[in-house]
Structure 1
């Protein structure tokens, strides 16, 4: 090609299905100033000799199958001879190599550098700060690690900086705040930590800021709420703390998207948030927010998505939300809301999934809540309660037992420090390999039908239990999916909490709390362990409380289907935690009536005896002398839960 067309200046073959290698003879077309081979199926390496095309201004090789010959991208070093180069794009090629330090010697005329999705490894060379006229730098979706170089602060003309979906660590350097012309800053899905620099709010041109899916631990800087040009702010999936300030929501803000979900924010939602007139997406889910939902949310006339789920919000659902004509998605689940669910406007289209686990809500039957009663009926119901009071006598036995138990616990726990709280964090496969020493058998603490459980120590020193599913075992994937479905929506002190999960094409695991005292089976059938009467009573109550929650405390009942001593774990305070939901069933009313099949594994007892299970298996290993009194306590537990 190069010999036949020596005067060629432009070569544009983009968006075709060409394949094969790039002919090295192309360098003989020395007048070429533009090469565009984007979106084809070219293979092989990018010729190093391409740097001989000294007039080259635009080189576009994105979305092909080019590879690197060595460990570094050597063709970049050859391009340092192209002093007129303005655009360099080779994204979406499986290069799997390092950026050479010589990248800082590219032409200062370079304005666009796109290399995302190439599997580039190693650090970002600090010399990249020499490209002072760079306007767009895209290194996202690679395998870069180390720190964000402070030299990036020299790129005074840059407008878009994309570094998301890498493994960058440590803090955001203050030097980034020197980028006064930047409009889009993407640092999502890295391992960045520390505080969010307040000076980011002083970058007056900034319109898109994505810092989500990192481990920032600070409060949200007030400067961000006073920003005049920010359009989208995403700080989700971090460990941010503090309250939302009263200054949030100034009326001249152009903000259209705000995502603060999956953090540890607390306090009330300020009513001033209604000042964001252009907001169309608002997510505050999975925080510790409390108080009522402000009426002012009805002023967000452009709102399309509202997610306030998994908080501690109380009070009624504001009627003002009925006026939001564009609202397509609403999630208020897992709060403490009460009163009647609005029924006008877009509320006609919402289903029960928008209001789950708010026990005091009422409304239409399709929303899976209780029907709303008139005040007259409420008064009549309350007055009839006086006839039920005599039934309280049936729980006297249990009250006495609990009183004695608490008295004993108060005595033995006077000087005990509270257990540490597990941090909610994203855990990678490589972190799990390191924590379990490559899933070494010395760390194996349990083995079941669908996989194995290992103890592991995370980088912050916290011990966890890693349940790895054997994907070659029939039913393992189904068991994993069932556990995820169940565990994502249940929260109870007597259920083992899930910390995270990790999945890829050939690996599935759940990361859960580690129970230092093992299983109840070990305590019952080991000569080295002994349980006192008080401890056995506590375990009975813990297991029964967990079952009562699963059967009656959720909008859709969950049947464990495999309750047995080996699936009851004991924490460091000798409290029981039910685990292993691999064959659980999530049942509606019709399924309850139709289900007759017996489920479970060896040691399992049928659901009909569920509330008496802890009594039976604890009684079986206790002394005969105490059996009569102990069985009486069991009966008291049974009748108390039946009455409830």
Structure 2
């Protein structure tokens, strides 16, 4: 489909589900036109055209409570403020936009049932978590502009994450020891950052549900596989382009499900434990 999204959507008073992905819309679409659609639960749109932009003008309070919203590739420059009034969101996808500034921690604070938050490929610079623990399952912040420490309490605030992707940013410092509190995490990608130091003992022992672990292109150092490594379910492990030194530790033996391992471009010596 092409052309403009009609403002006459505002007349569809019984509309509950609206999804128009992978089209070629152009022009501006104002979210304000949805304000009176009291039945609306799911709204999703994106466009392959760079000439399409979703806007949200001023402060307005919608009559609906969404379960899911997806505004991918909509040239958004900020998180729509009407989301401040949403309390029942489960899925939020604002990826591939031009959103800058702070991570919207209020989305978590306001929506205790939120499972999925996708903000990859934006221009976010500040990452501050809410004060209380949350049950979020999937978080993608890859390809943003973060260039500071990863919050030390991330594992305590988001202990139920199944997937965390913060790759291709500028995160610095050590990996937070609280990551070890993510007992259910299956997929962790921190590649292409500036993390340094050793892998926290709590991390290599506590994240026993990991299946995919990507640590590539950082400044991580120390022993690659300490004996306490508890990644028994890891199938894909990328540790290349770091500063790991010494021999490959006996912890490698515990990676019984491993079928892809990359430890290239480090300073490791010796052989692989049999």
TM-score class, shorter-chain normalisation, is 0.7 to 0.9
Unaligned runs of 5+ residues in structure 2 are 250-260
Change (3 A) 1:182 1:174: farther
Partner residue in 2 for 1:147: 28
Asked if residue 133 in structure 1 is aligned to residue 43 in structure 2, the reply is no
Report if aligned partners of 2:222, 2:244 keep a CA contact under 8 Å in 1: yes
Please state how far the C-alpha of 1:165 moved relative to its aligned partner.
4.1
CA distance in structure 2 between the partners assigned to 1:265 and 1:175 by the alignment: 28
Q: How does 1:200-219 map to 2 (within 5 A)?
A: 200-219=83-102
Task: Provide, for residues 392-436 of structure 1, a one-character-per-residue CA deviation record: whole Å limited to 9, x for no partner.
Answer: xxxxxxxxxxxxxxxxxxxxxxxxxxxxxxxxxxxxxxxxxxxxx
CA distance in structure 2 between the partners assigned to 1:247 and 1:175 by the alignment: 23
CA RMSD of aligned residues (A): 2.5
Change (3 A) 1:213 1:123: same
Partner residue in 2 for 1:245: 128
Report if aligned partners of 2:183, 2:209 keep a CA contact under 8 Å in 1: yes
Asked if residue 354 in structure 1 is aligned to residue 251 in structure 2, the reply is no
Please state how far the C-alpha of 1:217 moved relative to its aligned partner.
2.3
Please state how far the C-alpha of 1:346 moved relative to its aligned partner.
1.6
Report if aligned partners of 2:56, 2:81 keep a CA contact under 8 Å in 1: no
Change (3 A) 1:361 1:144: farther
Task: Provide, for residues 478-534 of structure 1, a one-character-per-residue CA deviation record: whole Å limited to 9, x for no partner.
Answer: xxxxxxxxxxxxxxxxxxxxxxxxxxxxxxxxxxxxxxxxxxxxxxxxxxxxxxxxx
Q: Higher helix share goes to which structure?
A: 1
Please state how far the C-alpha of 1:201 moved relative to its aligned partner.
4.0
Find the partner of 2:225 among 322, 342, 347.
342
CA distance in structure 1 between the partners assigned to 2:234 and 2:104 by the alignment: 37
CA distance in structure 2 between the partners assigned to 1:157 and 1:332 by the alignment: 44
Please state how far the C-alpha of 1:340 moved relative to its aligned partner.
1.1
Partner residue in 1 for 2:193: 311
Report if aligned partners of 1:201, 1:226 keep a CA contact under 8 Å in 2: no
Change (3 A) 1:175 1:185: farther
Deviating beyond 6 angstroms after TM superposition, the runs of 4 or more aligned structure 1 residues are: none
Partner residue in 1 for 2:252: none
Partner residue in 1 for 2:173: 291
Change (3 A) 1:372 1:176: farther
CA distance in structure 1 between the partners assigned to 2:21 and 2:239 by the alignment: 37
CA distance in structure 1 between the partners assigned to 2:176 and 2:9 by the alignment: 48
Change (3 A) 1:135 1:350: closer
Report if aligned partners of 2:224, 2:244 keep a CA contact under 8 Å in 1: no
Partner residue in 1 for 2:148: 267
Change (3 A) 1:224 1:349: closer
Report if aligned partners of 1:170, 1:194 keep a CA contact under 8 Å in 2: no
How many residues align structurally?
249
Partner residue in 2 for 1:178: 62
Please state how far the C-alpha of 1:213 moved relative to its aligned partner.
1.0
Unaligned runs of 5+ residues in structure 1 are 1-119, 374-644
CA distance in structure 2 between the partners assigned to 1:217 and 1:267 by the alignment: 15
Task: Provide, for residues 2-55 of structure 1, a one-character-per-residue CA deviation record: whole Å limited to 9, x for no partner.
Answer: xxxxxxxxxxxxxxxxxxxxxxxxxxxxxxxxxxxxxxxxxxxxxxxxxxxxxx
Relative to structure 2, which stretch is displaced further, 129-138 or 218-227? 218-227
Relative to structure 2, which stretch is displaced further, 165-174 or 140-149? 165-174
Give secondary structure in 2 for the equivalent of 1:274: helix
Please state how far the C-alpha of 1:342 moved relative to its aligned partner.
3.2
CA distance in structure 2 between the partners assigned to 1:263 and 1:236 by the alignment: 7
* Rg comparison, structure with higher value: 1
Partner residue in 2 for 1:282: 164
Please state how far the C-alpha of 1:205 moved relative to its aligned partner.
1.1
Change (3 A) 1:356 1:201: farther
Please state how far the C-alpha of 1:354 moved relative to its aligned partner.
1.2
Task: Provide, for residues 212-259 of structure 1, a one-character-per-residue CA deviation record: whole Å limited to 9, x for no partner.
Answer: 0112223223412423221100000112222x21536x32x2210000
Partner residue in 1 for 2:203: 321
Report if aligned partners of 1:337, 1:361 keep a CA contact under 8 Å in 2: no
Relative to structure 2, which stretch is displaced further, 228-237 or 269-278? 269-278
